[in-house]
Amino acid sequence: MVVVAFLLTFSMSGCSVIGDIFKAGAWTGIIGVVAVVVLLIWLVSKFLGGRR
- pLDDT tens column, 23-52: 778 787 788 889 999 999 988 888 887 565
Predicted pLDDT of residue 41:
92
For residue 32, the 8-state DSSP code is H
Tell me the residue type at 39: L
**All structural domains of the chain with their residue ranges:** 2-47
| Confidence label for 12 from pLDDT (cuts 50, 70 and 90) | low
Helices 26-47, 14-24: inter-axial angle, 10-degree rounding: 120
